[in-house]
A and B are shown apart, each in its own frame.
Chain A
Amino acid sequence: MKNYFIARSRRVRSTPYTSRIENQGVNAYTVYNHMLLPAAFGSLEDSYHHLKEHVQVWDVAGERQVEISGKDYLNAERFAAKEGLTLLGIYHSHPVHPAIPSEHDLAVAMPWFSYIIVSVEPEGVDHVRSWQLTPERKFEEETIK
């Protein structure tokens, strides 16, 4: 495949880092979740040294999922039991992505818990939605009051 320019459009967004990345001499981007992520700075050798010597956002971190460790969850349950509290749900964010459960969210969800998702854009929180898994393992939206 040849190299082509990425056209500026509403489907491709810059990030809070884009202007600084461009000042550093980025010469190739990849796109994740409509977001421009740097893929190269000059030659392969230049890129290697750039990655070693500068702090920046590369697409290597773009697809990371988050997970609360089993022991942390266990401690939260024990704390709630001790204090006479009830865990109602968990929340997580979707950077530059709508607050709609992903396939991954569906695979790991438990029924009856509230799954609050915060959609975050570079300017800040865009919207918040909450979802609950039915016993048939389908998400239904809850009203946030």
Chain B
Amino acid sequence: MATLIIPTPLRKFTDGNAVFEATASDVRSLLQALSNSHEGIQKHLFDDSGDLRSFIRVYVGDEDINELEGTDTKIDDRVEVSIIPANAGGSK
């Protein structure tokens, strides 16, 4: 089972659980499994065209998937995948 770490603000959708586990071979299918099993979380992860929202980062271990193969990045049971909300701001 692949392990996914849920960021604090999204744990309302996972009954407070910080960890989600599912059988998945790549990042996209793991995130999709999370969306399928927790109603309401999908729109905070994916945009209307089904792409990962631009302000969501996903790390496999300590590596940003943008430096790997994006949501096609292969995973196995040994790695920990983390969803990271971009914490950004400004007055504009």
A interface residue numbers (CB < 8 A to B)? 33, 63-68, 70-71, 73-74, 77, 80-81, 86-88, 90, 92, 94-97, 102-105, 107-108, 110-113, 115, 117, 135, 137
Contact = CB atoms under 8 A, between A and B. Distances in A.
Contact of A108 (B8, B40, B64, B89): B89
Contacts of B87: 67-68, 73, 90, 108
A68 B55 CA distance: 11
Contacts of A90: 87, 89
The DSSP consensus for interface residues of chain A is mixed
Contact of A135 (B18, B40, B85, B89): B40
9 contacts: A63-B90, A65-B89, A73-B87, A104-B89, A104-B92, A105-B89, A113-B85, A115-B89, A117-B89
B82 A108 contact: no
Given A67-B86, A77-B7, 11 more contacts: A67-B88, A70-B57, A70-B84, A74-B62, A77-B5, A102-B89, A103-B92, A104-B88, A108-B86, A110-B7, A111-B10
B49 interface: no
